[in-house]
Structure 1
């Protein structure tokens, strides 16, 4: 899939869902935004914000006009998911932004969010844009158990705070699908591999594992990953989630072991940043930055745990 491509999700029995490759970090098949074409059209996650033109083109291609968009649902406020929410809300005056209650103030005044993002992503900040503030009256707080009615479809909110306390996943029962946010890891379709995501500063391994239990209980046929794309799991949903539990647990153990060996956090980060684990898929720059960010997140978790 190339940057800017829009495809209909036909995985499983899905209907009325489309996804856009936003070209996040100038990398294809890394960042996806989902569009639901329903009585109340919706966008799930928005990307960084630099992809606004691509998203506007995608909405037009699907047939959703400026005044028709009603729902901007963000799984959490990390700027690779919510950075474009203010820009999208500005262009679509009838759309409200739905976000976990913890995240409301940060979308209204994103200054602390920007500072935290700069600290978390380091040099990758060059790919971001300063987010726009969203008027408070257009931000709708959501919590576990809430339902966003779109018409033929609904988004059922389930808390998933391991990756970040403001993260939720959205269940679409009609499609037997779940917009999994970062709760189920990063899906790499090119190599059909699941990768860890453990960014600073609020990553919590035990809670992440609990979130996987939440997803097991939902037992969908389809995972809709923001990183990246739809994945059919069918009767193997539990196995897929167990696989990620193993990946994440082994990743944390590897960082902890290297920390014990080197006794220098920066050396630990450098070690994983130069591992080249995903160079062939994402390119050396993105692969290195991703590994460094995830290592920092684990190191923060280990420090907090101790």
Structure 2
């Protein structure tokens, strides 16, 4: 699968996904289409990659999108929402209530994204606002009727408080956004995703437990596409999260609280440079380390 390619989810009833080429890394961005009686798009990718999403919709023959469903408002998942809403004026945008105001006025979202992703902003385009009347807020527990199937909504706030997961009850597919980390198929590993500023370890572990309770056939990751779900996948990601946070906590203590030195340590010791390229691997380690350092600061204030 190359950038711009569209594939049908094996064994599914009309579920497709496209490689958006996010950050110029093949398969890094996955946007999903459910070609139901009332078609729904799960996530939108970065705005700069929107033509690949439009290409998927054209290839599948979608001319009347009913729903645009970001799993959360981070711009690598919702950056193209305004452009898609503009192209499909009858589509309803549904997102967690915490995130909804930031799609109406993305000013603070853009500022926060620039601060979080730093040099990676070079890959982004500015999002465009969505009229408030086009957005319906979610809290978790809702059911979205697509005509021939239903999506059940589950709040998953560990990666970000505005994240939800969508469970396709018909095909038993769970669209998890970043709630299960990043499945990296070349190395066959699950990677942590712990960006600033709202990552929370305990809530992230709770999100994995929610996935365990749903026990889907397939998990559709926001990055690198779908994977067959097993109990081992969930157990592995819980282990990865705990070990990642503990490694950063220990390194901070070892380096006397010098956070920039902590970040540099994990950047220098990344094992993903041969997979993603040195620049993307370094950017990713820096982002995820900063998110954990912020989480450690947050929980220390409550102690």
Range class of TM-score, shorter chain? over 0.9
Task: Supply the distance in 1 between the matched residues of 2:219 and 2:274 (Cα, whole angstroms).
Answer: 24
Task: Supply the distance in 1 between the matched residues of 2:202 and 2:165 (Cα, whole angstroms).
Answer: 17
Which residues of 2 match residues 276-287 of structure 1 at below 5 A? 276-287=270-281
Unaligned ranges ≥5, structure 2: none
User: What residue is the counterpart of 2:234 in the other structure?
Assistant: 241
Alignment: residue pair count: 299
Equivalent of residue 134 in structure 1, options 130, 149, 168: 130
Task: Supply the distance in 2 between the matched residues of 1:276 and 1:247 (Cα, whole angstroms).
Answer: 15
Runs of 4+ in 1 over 6 A off after TM superposition: none
Q: How far did residue 276 of structure 1 move? A: 3.1
Equivalent of residue 252 in structure 2, options 243, 255, 259: 259
Which residues of 2 match residues 40-189 of structure 1 at below 5 A? 40-65=38-63, 68-189=64-185
Unaligned ranges ≥5, structure 1: none
Does residue 1:300 correspond to 2:294, yes or no? yes
Is the contact made by 1:275 and 1:288 (CA closer than 8 Å) also made in structure 2?
Answer: no
Task: Supply the distance in 1 between the matched residues of 2:6 and 2:140 (Cα, whole angstroms).
Answer: 30
Task: Supply the distance in 1 between the matched residues of 2:259 and 2:77 (Cα, whole angstroms).
Answer: 28
Normalising by structure 2, we get a TM-score of 0.97
Q: What does the per-residue CA deviation read over 1:28-81, in whole Å, with 9 as the maximum and x for residues that have no partner?
A: 11110001101111110000111111111110101102xx11100010000000
Bigger shift: 286-295 or 270-279?
270-279
Task: Supply the distance in 1 between the matched residues of 2:59 and 2:200 (Cα, whole angstroms).
Answer: 39
User: What residue is the counterpart of 2:29 in the other structure?
Assistant: 31
Normalising by structure 1, we get a TM-score of 0.96
Q: How far did residue 110 of structure 1 move? A: 0.4
User: What residue is the counterpart of 1:5 in the other structure?
Assistant: 5
Q: How far did residue 260 of structure 1 move? A: 0.7
Q: What does the per-residue CA deviation read over 1:100-121, in whole Å, with 9 as the maximum and x for residues that have no partner?
A: 0111100000001011111110
